[in-house]
Amino acid sequence: MNEDYLATGNKGVEVVRLTTDVAIVGGGTAGCFAAVTIKENSPQTEVLIIEKAHIKRSGCLAAGVNAINAYLKPGQSPESYLEYVKKESAGLVRDDLVLSIGQRLNKVTEKLESWGLPFKKNEDGSYLERGKRSVEIIGESIKPVIADAVKKSGARVLNRTVATNYIMSEGRIVGVYAFSAREKKFYVISAKAVICATGGAAGIYKPNNEGAARHKMWYCPFNVGTGFAMGLRAGAEMTTFEMRFIALRVKDVMSPTGTVAQGVRARQVNALGEEYLDRYENRSTPMRLYATVAENKAGRGPCYLDFTHLSDQVNIRLKEAYLNMSPGILLKWADEGVEPNHRPLEICGSEPYIVGGHGQAGYWVDIFRRSTVTGLFAAGDVVGGAPKKYVSGCFAEGEIAGLAALQYIKDKHTAEISPEETEAELTRVFTPLFRDRGPAPDEYEERLQKIMDEYAGGISANYELCEAKLLKARELLLVLQEEVNNKIKARNMFELVKAHEVTDRVLVARVLVEHLLYRKETRWPSYQERVDYPRRNDERWFIFVNSRFNHENNSITIIERPAEGLVTEHAR
């Protein structure tokens, strides 16, 4: 790793120039696995992870997890995994991407165990099952275990460093711009290849909880769509933003419902005590949410998970499972002086998220996880077209992207970076900090979330969408983007991070609205529910809705891609 420090006259900002072979943006599940994969296969290759937080407690697994939700048990196969994912997604997925994940699920899961994460076992040594494709772990320490594997691999990490844009030269990605979250430092990172593993986007919509509890949400609140926004500004093609993901969660604490629905076979009931799922088309993940919303609209809510049948022994096991990923619910039970089996647990939908791990929003990639921009790879929640990948699927994509990037850099050299472009990006990044006055990031975040909640199918609209409201959202977001770009004020480095988070969220929201407008059918109830086009139409809409952003004229172009066949190469 080469380092060159250069003082700058730009109001005390220090410019730090780094050179590496592969830069990985995001130190979560996929990014860490990509780094370890590269170092194991080529120890001499230099790898640098750029992480906004600290890789020991960052990303979706920061607080832990109690199960690996994508694992193939005896009798299952990559093909059966593909069929499950297609069924859950109304038939429209990238078969090639999902199958390539399925082929690696067990291998990467066993690799995680070899790193030292405890797995619950049966007497015969096999993994303890929780659901059809889920095995139980003791996962509170999963992120420290992964971070330790990265350290042992020899990959370097820039913690508390915020990526802002890719560096381009002659039509390919040759590095990353970033800044320190704590100091006035601007990083110019040269790389032969870049892997984006930043996760999806939370905070686009008004959350369930307000005030000091607004970040008590299902998806990691610090995953804000930066990877999407960086890709959009570089001209990368995105896919299926309109398939938002909305989680069915425990009200207020937003704890997962799968822990009880799968782990202890809880019943999903309405306020009348009726099991209501059989009233609806199927029991897919979107439909369980849709049914809950429908029961509330019909006056039969609130809805609950009922596990009053549990024994005291199972009660203890359930609380242990929640301690591994969502301890807030235990504090709720303790504060109310009740045990889990004392009364049903109220459930509700979360705000919508833009994510490629549960939903399928993200970069349009080929089988090797190459984006449509040369030199840029993607892995994990930031990749589109392959939902239901979960932790192990993100590992699998990290491995695929890491190996592909390693192959790509064999004949590549470090490119020259334009001083003029570097100065322009430095100015863009730090202008909110040096601006004399202007609204704070929180004010713009609230405006964004209000627009999206009311006009783009948020919680207050029961997730329902229609053209007139989406057109209003489009209009308001353009105004908001202009104001954010020219008026936002950061009083310190913490607010500078938030200013760029809001900037990125607004761009992602604009692209999302265009996707929601374009798909004139309802394919995924609640996730993408057009009340003006309430039916699914495979004859016209069994296609992928993709998009490309033109940074020069601030415009978004929608592109249709066929769903048939494998997409293994891009036209370059």
- Tens of pLDDT, residues 321-372: 787 778 888 888 888 888 888 889 899 999 999 999 999 999 999 999 999 9
Token pair listed for 548 = 């490309």
**What count of other Cβ atoms lies within 10 Å of the Cβ of residue 309?**
11
The mean pLDDT value for 50-60 works out to 95
Residue 383 φ then ψ, to 5°: -95, 135
Question: Cβ(153)–Cβ(35) under 8 Å?
Answer: yes
The mean pLDDT value for 314-319 works out to 82
**pLDDT value at 458 more than 70:** yes
Which residues, other chains included, contact 410 with Cβ-Cβ below 8 Å and sequence gap of 6+? none
- What is the tens place of the pLDDT at every residue in 197-212? 999 999 999 999 888 8
Strand 362-363 with 345-353, pairing? unpaired
Give the C-alpha separation, 536 to 539, whole Å.
Answer: 9
Q: Considering only 233-247, 319-333, 461-475, 479-493, which range has the smallest mean pLDDT?
A: 319-333
**What count of other Cβ atoms lies within 10 Å of the Cβ of residue 51?**
28
Give the C-alpha separation, 62 to 554, whole Å.
Answer: 35
Q: pLDDT over 90 for what percent of the chain?
A: 80
Q: What is the DSSP string of 276-328?
A: -GGGSS---HHHHHHHHHHHHHTT---EEEE-TT--HHHHHHHHHHHHTT-TH
Longest dimension (CA), the chain: 69
Give the C-alpha separation, 397 to 496, whole Å.
Answer: 31
pLDDT value, residue 495 = 98
Which residues, other chains included, contact 526 with Cβ-Cβ below 8 Å and sequence gap of 6+? 246, 286, 289, 290, 293, 349, 463
pLDDT value, residue 316 = 84
Instruction: For the chain, list the domains and their CATH numbers.
Output: 15-61+143-245+353-418 (3.50.50.60), 247-350 (3.90.700.10), 421-552 (1.20.58.100)
Burial class (CB in 10 A: 0-12, 13-18, 19+), 37: buried
Token pair listed for 259 = 């822990």
Burial 379-413 (b: 16+ CB within 10 A, else e): bbbbbbbbbbbbbbbbbbbbbbbbbbbbebbeeee
> Of the candidates 124, 149, 142, which has an alpha carbon nearest to the alpha carbon of residue 68?
142
The more confident residue out of 217 and 472 is 472
- Say whether the peptide bond before residue 302 is cis (omega within 30 degrees of 0): yes
**pLDDT value at 572 more than 50:** no
The mean pLDDT value for 285-294 works out to 93
Confidence of residue 409 (pLDDT cuts 50, 70, 90): very high
Give the C-alpha separation, 356 to 338, whole Å.
Answer: 37
The mean pLDDT value for 453-476 works out to 98
> Of the candidates 545, 487, 528, 478, which has an alpha carbon nearest to the alpha carbon of residue 506?
478
**pLDDT value at 305 more than 70:** yes
| 86 DSSP assignment | H
Confidence of residue 565 (pLDDT cuts 50, 70, 90): low
Burial class (CB in 10 A: 0-12, 13-18, 19+), 355: buried
Question: Cβ(254)–Cβ(208) under 8 Å?
Answer: yes
Residue carrying structure tokens 């429209």: 92
pLDDT value, residue 6 = 43
Confidence of residue 7 (pLDDT cuts 50, 70, 90): very low
pTM of the model: 0.94
Alpha helices by DSSP H, 115-217? 142-153
Q: Considering only 184-188, 244-248, 337-341, 374-378, which range has the smallest mean pLDDT?
A: 337-341
Confidence of residue 262 (pLDDT cuts 50, 70, 90): low
**pLDDT value at 373 more than 80:** yes
**pLDDT value at 283 more than 60:** yes
Question: Cβ(348)–Cβ(292) under 8 Å?
Answer: yes
Query: Is the sign of the CA dihedral 24, 27, 31, 34 positive or negative?
Result: positive
Give me the chain's average pLDDT, please: 93
> Of the candidates 280, 380, 389, 364, which has an alpha carbon nearest to the alpha carbon of residue 25?
380
Q: Chain centroid to CA 280: how far? A: 29
Which residues, other chains included, contact 167 with Cβ-Cβ below 8 Å and sequence gap of 6+? 173, 174, 175, 176, 177, 188, 189, 190, 417, 421
Beta strand residue intervals within 170-293, DSSP E? 172-180, 185-196, 238-239, 245-250, 267-269
Give the C-alpha separation, 500 to 510, whole Å.
Answer: 16
Give the C-alpha separation, 306 to 341, whole Å.
Answer: 8
**What count of other Cβ atoms lies within 10 Å of the Cβ of residue 183?**
13
Query: Is the sign of the CA dihedral 419, 498, 224, 179 positive or negative?
Result: positive
pLDDT value, residue 569 = 58
Q: 383 pairs with which residues across the strands? A: 363
pLDDT value, residue 259 = 60
Alpha helices by DSSP H, 409-525? 419-434, 441-455, 467-487, 493-518
Give the C-alpha separation, 508 to 310, whole Å.
Answer: 43
Q: Considering only 295-309, 437-451, 519-533, which range has the smallest mean pLDDT?
A: 295-309
**pLDDT value at 5 more than 50:** no
Confidence of residue 311 (pLDDT cuts 50, 70, 90): confident
- What is the tens place of the pLDDT at every residue in 419-445? 999 999 999 999 999 999 999 999 999
Q: pLDDT over 70 for what percent of the chain?
A: 96
| 13 DSSP assignment | P
Q: Is 116 helix (H, G, I), strand (E, B) or coil?
A: coil
pLDDT value, residue 366 = 97
pLDDT value, residue 571 = 37
pLDDT value, residue 1 = 52
pLDDT value, residue 264 = 66
